[in-house]
Structure 1
């Protein structure tokens, strides 16, 4: 959540920033709810003080005390309702974007920073599912649309990519983690995926649990409610998990193949860090993502995502898009976000330093997903980069 005290002190600045995310009205609603709550606090405090009598009360004082207690009960109920309304409004306000995030509200408004590598000149362009073995029709019979099997060499290639990615970031100081993929609602709310992304999340209603769309949720919530010592930071984790997304609102988008599916695997970086070091860490994480794609030999471009296209938690996000020959365009394969103190505040995570307690910053960055496998198949048409051979990848993928 945002720092409400700071937002009160600089209303115009915060409103202007949040307007870039389309959240000016939500911010106005928060301030109105906050003012209603704050106006009630002195009245409740006054009534509480008046109910405290010294010495033995007279009959008249007892009668007056009874009236005061009834007024206090009503005022406390009104205050509790106002507080709940303020907290609900606060949960709906996203993290304001960083000034360096460009204006705009769609992927077309992202600003390209640079490109690396040249798209391959292919005599014949084949889509990934025409090269590797993906059982889509059988998966549809088993699970429905937007699911698929990876089989044989294709599965070995995918497993090699994940293990290669884990080693890549582990050498950079990230601790590997196999996190749970089912979490409670407080983890989804705390990371900022609820309420805005709730339509994209699978729910197990009978158990009060939700399937995560990224291991970011479980990694962030691992320290929920804790006080971290400044000397412990940064904490760098690398999670590998299967992820689930309903893809609500994606009707008609990427319906062919395995590009946009309900279930996929992902290697994810997550960092808890001193706020004064988070922007340098963001650049470091993006560099690690680029290094991995360089080692794989994939052509790609790096873009700065527009403010209105950022998720609720992110202040800034850098996407890396690999070239997909079958689509003749660059598509997102990794991303890296600085969520500043937004998630830490919602999750009740604080760090203890020389200046006392304050929320740390958190960052997340995708290292690889199944899309990296698709990009490899398409750009090399079945040939496999040498760097993946030690991890069990075949020399060539055959369908």
Structure 2
């Protein structure tokens, strides 16, 4: 949920955020009123309970001849307390429901509107051109023996696939390159659970309007994660973390699962939009004051990765209506996909401010002010951020960008150490020229 003090003190700010996201502004009025009703009901219950406690002491001290009448009064009071408790509980549930409709308050400067209303911040790299008809990533993957969609569908259904041979090696190389980048920048590597409890999924904000995109195991009441952001956000649930030495930075490597609800007919060819993929996700706990600078830092790391891989890309400031409930600001990086003639998302990084931490009760102790004079410092909610550092979809842009006329693919220099020095990915059965083919035939005859 959002900060209740912000809702009460600056309702217009919250209302503007809701409007920018495309939400009804009266959700703010409903949340304020439900919060007020909750507090009123709770106060009434607590006052009656205090009265009941005081009356109980009076009954205990009363003379024997007065006890019967007092006991009867005590029973009537107990009934009123019970009803007040039920009213307070109902008011709390109603308030929680109303507050759930208030998404994280966006940061100043986030563009209003929906998916198409993003703002392009910059482009990096030249759009690749070819003197041949470029193949798409699936055709290249099949030529290389790297991607098998047909058997993926046979085994698991549509939008599943096998990465095999050089395809499997390429993904592992990407992930290891990203892991080394994370390690060099102070991230702690994590292999995370991919099944989480409902309160963790709920706490990160993934069970709102997009809940149908999340896989649920009903018998176990568990959820499959669509990103390691979820378990990493829950890692410090109900804890007071120590930020005295700086931010806590984690790099979570996991398989991710997404039902892709509502995407019928979209990107059905290849591995752009699939139900299962691997990802290395950066996740940061920091102070609210440092969150925006940390956000820029995560974007810079992503750009370093894509530049090193020789990909052309653009950075966009995602519009408010496309942020998701948790993010106060999100930057996407989209790489050029030649056969689509378009930029497609490869990374996303979000500043969730204190929204997730408030729901998961993750706090820290701010530094005491100089005039605190030894007073115990109250805790405050941390800010959380997340960002992709590598994922399966990157293979799409890599294969298409670095393809050659004969169906081979040049390996970016930065990836070669992770592929045993391999410089070129060759189609299955490939031979360089006629002389090489003859030499191969002669060797086979010997």
Give the drift of 1:81. Answer: 1.1
Tell me what 2:128 maps to.
Answer: 120
State the TM-score, normalizing by the size of structure 2: 0.86
1:254-292 Cα distance to aligned partner (Å, 9 max, x none): 111111000011111000001111111111110111011
Tell me what 1:397 maps to.
Answer: 425
Q: Distance between the aligned counterparts of 2:32 and 2:302, measured in 1?
A: 39
Within a 5 Å distance, the mapping from 1:1-399 to structure 2 comes to 1-23=1-23, 24-51=25-52, 52-53=54-55, 54-55=57-58, 56-57=61-62, 58=66, 59-106=68-115, 108-122=116-130, 123-132=132-141, 133-353=146-366, 354=368, 355-381=377-403, 382-392=409-419, 394-399=422-427
Give the drift of 1:233. Answer: 3.4
Q: Distance between the aligned counterparts of 1:392 and 1:291, measured in 2?
A: 20
Does the 8 Å contact 1:174/1:238 carry over to 2?
yes
| Structure 2: segments with no counterpart, 5+ residues | 369-376, 404-408, 428-446
Three-state SS of the structure 2 residue aligned to 1:193 is coil
Does the 8 Å contact 1:190/1:347 carry over to 2?
yes
Does the 8 Å contact 1:131/1:398 carry over to 2?
no
Does the 8 Å contact 1:153/1:398 carry over to 2?
no
Q: Distance between the aligned counterparts of 2:164 and 2:30, measured in 1?
A: 52
Three-state SS of the structure 2 residue aligned to 1:298 is coil
Cα distance 1:189–1:232, how it changes in 2: closer, same or farther (>3 A)? farther
1:104-143 Cα distance to aligned partner (Å, 9 max, x none): 111x211000101111111221101111221111111110
Q: Distance between the aligned counterparts of 1:260 and 1:131, measured in 2?
A: 17
Does the 8 Å contact 1:310/1:316 carry over to 2?
yes
- Larger RCO, structures 1/2 (Cα 8 Å, 6+ apart): 1
Q: Distance between the aligned counterparts of 1:26 and 1:266, measured in 2?
A: 35
Three-state SS of the structure 2 residue aligned to 1:335 is strand
Does the 8 Å contact 2:11/2:28 carry over to 1?
no
Give the drift of 1:196. Answer: 2.8
Three-state SS of the structure 2 residue aligned to 1:253 is coil
Higher alpha-carbon deviation: 266-275 or 37-46: 37-46
Give the drift of 1:42. Answer: 3.0
Three-state SS of the structure 1 residue aligned to 2:233 is helix
Higher alpha-carbon deviation: 355-364 or 194-203: 194-203
Does the 8 Å contact 1:324/1:330 carry over to 2?
yes
Higher alpha-carbon deviation: 50-59 or 335-344: 50-59
Q: Distance between the aligned counterparts of 2:192 and 2:413, measured in 1?
A: 30
Give the drift of 1:232. Answer: 4.5
Higher alpha-carbon deviation: 45-54 or 8-17: 45-54
Higher alpha-carbon deviation: 49-58 or 96-105: 49-58
1:210-245 Cα distance to aligned partner (Å, 9 max, x none): 110000001111111111123153000111111000
Does the 8 Å contact 2:138/2:269 carry over to 1?
no
Give the drift of 1:90. Answer: 2.2
| Structure 1: segments with no counterpart, 5+ residues | none
1:38-91 Cα distance to aligned partner (Å, 9 max, x none): 222332233223222244243433322221111111111111111122123223
Tell me what 2:432 maps to.
Answer: none
Q: Distance between the aligned counterparts of 2:320 and 2:206, measured in 1?
A: 17
Q: Distance between the aligned counterparts of 1:45 and 1:208, measured in 2?
A: 35
Three-state SS of the structure 1 residue aligned to 2:279 is strand
Does the 8 Å contact 2:112/2:320 carry over to 1?
yes
Cα distance 1:97–1:135, how it changes in 2: closer, same or farther (>3 A)? same
Higher alpha-carbon deviation: 352-361 or 298-307: 352-361
Three-state SS of the structure 1 residue aligned to 2:359 is helix
Give the drift of 1:383. Answer: 1.1
Aligned residues: 398
Cα distance 1:130–1:137, how it changes in 2: closer, same or farther (>3 A)? same
